[in-house]
């Protein structure tokens, strides 16, 4: 019997059973799945891709127009899980390092994608670091297994898709006229995020305030050096309708940050200071909360664990992203009902997203009903679309 | 269209799609599920039941021959999730308290069983305490949703069923001849658990050692009062092949327990001192690990979170149980691949288990392949069997 006939015959048997009793049919489906597992292996494939940014991305210490990513597929039994590694240069990963990481993996040793813990332990222990590459595998395995289960990932995790937070839209540092344009472009969003930490911080805020009164999160990207000046600035920002301060001072400056958190009328969130679960305990009491990004913490499984741990510490959780396609952003969005704030606009900052996925509707993260992380490759005539289809 | 015809027609449509494309069929199934959700509610029902113990259960401070439990069902869309509350008297819950708790719940307000977080938040906030009653709901919701997904719970959680630990079998305090008989009865088990904390502790161990050289966990049930004598006893026990010491001293005696843990050549595990996730942080450094029981921590969802948190603290995890049916024991077993040791013999200590479920095969927890927690009601002509069918 060839593969197609086999699929057909098992499908027919499962179909017949569905008619008589739905519980039984699921068990039969599982039985066939188990029979078939013996002959099936996880198949990993990947393709490097370069994201084109809609605007030049100006941070306190750098600027750029592209972000390298690697898109991956893990295939099993006619199902396909998608994953993505996004490599902003300051985190040290690259096309080369991610490809090298993926090439040394042997996922074909696994004949059951549901052994998520074993698979991720193997991936984790195969090399140190490489968090973005590891996140790609983690996202794809979670997407794949949820697709096999026929459920959106948030549903498997028992999360309410109605409880996703509003997401902020990032306004890069720029000339006042460009800033005003960007604010208008951000019209559907209920919260703005502004990158500060330069000489013209107050001017930037005033420019935004001249066109909108939306709440603002400010991301200082470690730009402030004096805690007294920082506190004074926070009081000024609060009067201007700022609601969150992200990474105000150097990530290594625990003493001044703890002092600032203690005195600040606004929550102070760790971004550069927080990478993965091993950082969390020492940030307790130093920051009010953390910004979790899949590419820094190694993926969804770890991010979910961090959410629960942070909440047990009484810390706030923001779910953020890099510039990335709808793949990684939609993955993070599945987790967002566990967060206090979302900053999931990475896919909106690029012009060549090969996926359709999570949407921001009236400023709110809106999860697709599809199984898995909820992304579908767009039907384009590009190399990457051919790879994804 | 009546309900049966409706089930049949949706089943037929899903069946037809399964033949053409398995991904599509899952999504279609979901679509039908979504359509039907509008008219469906969670239905809770329950029945009190009394477990008959195989042997009189002698602890350091009490003895008994029965344990009250309440068995519950949560039904939805032709699927049925089973749950159980077991109420050993020293924890303060009873048939009356559990029934009162369940009666005040309105689960019919939920039309989607996958909103696990919302449902459990509602249950948690409906009344304080009542951990066994809450565990029953939690087990049933997890069983129900995993059955709808068509997957065993451990699979949804990504755990490897091959990585379940050996389970210990409890030998109650008794006359030497009875103890010897019990040890023979425990033949399939690779680890024995012995309740100590009386005058005849050494005699008990010597009696067991006269018939077997299997490793032994000892559970002191807070029976030791002097830390120096405790340490001396632990050294003696270690020589006799004891491998774990559970709750050696009073649960409130943190100082002596911390000293004992620091000096003990064997791991010291918290049982009475550990109830739920809020206890964990203050036990760090006091005990080497914790014994998680669903009836104390409020269910599987919380137990799983505790496993991850304990591991992040470098603490060992034992998964234990009360005297309970195969329902609650099989639920706990789903989590056991995350534990270092299992003590899941509660169903074997009773004579009137109405379920078939998790098995101990050659001393090892062996998970059923069925969807959900993996229990099936036995076809008996009893009241409880009628309720479960």
pLDDT (tens digit, 9 = 90+) per residue, A219-278?
999 999 999 999 999 999 999 999 999 999 999 999 999 999 999 999 999 999 999 998
Residues of B in contact with A18 (CB under 8 A): 11-12, 14-15, 18
Q: Do B158 and A115 touch (CB under 8 A)?
A: yes
Interface-testing mutation among A25, A155, A300, with chain B (most B C-beta atoms within 10 A): A155
| Separation CA B55–CA B47 (nearest Å) | 24
For residue A252, the SS3 value is coil
> Cα distance from A98 to chain B (closest Cα, Å)?
25
| Separation CA A169–CA A349 (nearest Å) | 9
Q: Do A371 and B145 touch (CB under 8 A)?
A: no
Q: Tell me whether 0.90 is exceeded by the ipTM.
A: no
Q: What residues contact A125, with CB distance under 8 A and at least 6 apart?
A: none
> Cα distance from B264 to chain A (closest Cα, Å)?
27
pLDDT digits (tens, 9 = 90+) for B298-322: 999 999 999 999 988 899 999 999 9
Residues of A in contact with B42 (CB under 8 A): none
> Cα distance from B297 to chain A (closest Cα, Å)?
15
The strand pair at B216-219 and B242-246 is best described as parallel
pLDDT confidence tier of residue A159, bands split at 50, 70 and 90: very high
Q: What is the pLDDT of residue A197?
A: 79
pTM of the model as a whole: 0.84
Give, to the nearest 10 degrees, the angle between helix A326-335 and helix A131-149: 70
Query: Is a pLDDT exceeding 80 seen at residue B126?
Result: yes
Question: Which among A15, A114, A151 has the least Cβ separation from residue B15?
Answer: A15
Q: Do B312 and A308 touch (CB under 8 A)?
A: no
What length is written for chain A? Answer: 389
Q: What is the pLDDT of residue B271?
A: 95
Q: Do B150 and A149 touch (CB under 8 A)?
A: yes
Q: Return the number of CB contacts < 8 Å for A and B.
A: 136
Six-digit token string for B360: 């101990």
- The number of C-alpha atoms within 13 Å of B11 and in the hemisphere containing its C-beta is 22
Q: What is the pLDDT of residue A283?
A: 96
For residue B26, the SS3 value is helix
> Cα distance from A282 to chain B (closest Cα, Å)?
13
Question: Which among B8, B145, B308 has the least Cβ separation from residue A305?
Answer: B308
Residues of A in contact with B12 (CB under 8 A): 15, 18-19
Kindly report which listed range (A28-42, B125-139, B214-228) carries the lowest average pLDDT score. A28-42
For residue A48, the SS3 value is strand
In terms of CA atoms, which chain A residue is nearest residue B310? A309
Query: Is a pLDDT exceeding 50 seen at residue A146?
Result: yes
* CB neighbours of residue B19 within 10 Å: 16
Interface-testing mutation among B22, B81, B336, with chain A (most A C-beta atoms within 10 A): B22
Q: Where are the alpha helices (DSSP H) in B210-325?
A: 227-239, 254-263, 277-283, 294-297, 300-312
The distance of Cα B277 from the centroid of its chain, to the nearest Å, equals: 15
Question: Which among A19, A159, A308 has the least Cβ separation from residue B12?
Answer: A19
Interface-testing mutation among B123, B158, B277, B372, with chain A (most A C-beta atoms within 10 A): B158
Beta bridge partners of A289: A269, A316
| Separation CA B219–CA B60 (nearest Å) | 10
Q: What is the pLDDT of residue A59?
A: 62
Q: Do A27 and B117 touch (CB under 8 A)?
A: no
* CB neighbours of residue B279 within 10 Å: 16
Residues of A in contact with B120 (CB under 8 A): 158
Domains and CATH numbers, chain A: 43-151 (3.30.390.10), 156-378 (3.20.20.120)
**Which string of DSSP letters, residue by residue, matches B166-182?**
BBEEEE-S--HHHHHHH
pLDDT digits (tens, 9 = 90+) for B1-20: 343 333 333 333 333 333 33
Query: Is a pLDDT exceeding 80 seen at residue B278?
Result: yes
Residues of B in contact with A156 (CB under 8 A): 114, 149, 156
| Separation CA A241–CA A262 (nearest Å) | 20
For residue B30, the SS3 value is helix
The strand pair at A364-366 and A359-361 is best described as antiparallel
Residues of B in contact with A301 (CB under 8 A): 158
Q: What is the pLDDT of residue A169?
A: 87
Kindly report which listed range (A32-41, B63-72, B335-344) carries the lowest average pLDDT score. A32-41
Query: Is a pLDDT exceeding 70 seen at residue B173?
Result: yes
The distance of Cα B94 from the centroid of its chain, to the nearest Å, equals: 18
Six-digit token string for B47: 């029945």
Interface-testing mutation among B26, B303, B371, with chain A (most A C-beta atoms within 10 A): B26
Of B238, B185, B246, the residue nearest B215 (C-alpha): B238
| Mean pLDDT, rounded, of chain B | 89
Backbone angles phi, psi at A245, to 5 degrees: -115, 120
Query: Is a pLDDT exceeding 70 seen at residue A324?
Result: yes
């Amino acid at each position: 019997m060839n593969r197609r006939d086999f699929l057909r015959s098992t499908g027919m048997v499962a179909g017949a059973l569905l008619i008589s009793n739905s519980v039984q049919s699921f068990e039969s489906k599982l039985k066939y799945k188990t029979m078939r597992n013996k002959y099936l292996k996880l198949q990993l494939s990947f393709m490097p891709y370069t994201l084109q940014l809609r605007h030049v991305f100006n941070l306190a210490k750098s600027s750029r127009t592209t972000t390298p990513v690697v898109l991956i597929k893990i295939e099993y039994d006619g199902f396909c899980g998608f994953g993505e590694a996004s490599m902003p240069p300051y985190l040290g990963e690259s096309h080369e390092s991610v490809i090298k990481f993926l090439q040394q993996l042997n996922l074909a040793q696994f004949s059951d994608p549901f052994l998520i813990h074993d698979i991720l332990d193997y991936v984790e222990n195969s090399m140190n670091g490489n968090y973005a590459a590891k996140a790609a595998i983690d996202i794809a395995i979670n997407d794949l297994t949820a697709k096999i289960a026929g459920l959106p990932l948030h549903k498997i995790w028992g999360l309410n898709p109605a409880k996703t937070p509003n997401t902020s839209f990032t306004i890069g540092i720029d000339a006042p006229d460009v800033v005003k344009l960007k604010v208008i472009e951000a019209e559907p969003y209920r919260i703005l995020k502004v990158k500060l930490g330069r000489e013209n911080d107050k001017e930037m805020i005033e420019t935004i305030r001249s066109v909108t009164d939306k709440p603002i999160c400010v991301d200082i990207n470690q730009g402030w050096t004096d805690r007294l000046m920082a506190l004074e600035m926070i009081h000024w920002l609060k009067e201007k309708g700022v609601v969150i301060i992200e990474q105000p001072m150097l990530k290594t400056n625990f003493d001044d940050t703890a002092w600032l958190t203690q005195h600040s009328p606004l929550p102070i969130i760790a971004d550069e200071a927080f990478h993965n679960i091993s950082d969390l305990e020492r940030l307790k009491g130093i920051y009010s909360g953390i910004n979790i990004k899949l590419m820094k913490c190694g993926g969804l499984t770890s991010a979910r664990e961090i959410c629960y741990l942070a909440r047990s510490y009484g810390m706030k959780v923001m779910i953020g992203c890099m510039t990335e396609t709808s793949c990684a952003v939609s993955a993070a969005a599945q987790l967002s009902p566990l967060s206090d704030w979302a900053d999931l606009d990475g896919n909106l900052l690029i012009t060549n997203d090969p996926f359709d996925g999570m949407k921001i509707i009236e400023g709110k993260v809106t999860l697709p009903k599809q199984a898995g992380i909820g992304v579908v490759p767009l039907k384009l005539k590009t190399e990457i679309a051919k790879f994804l289809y």
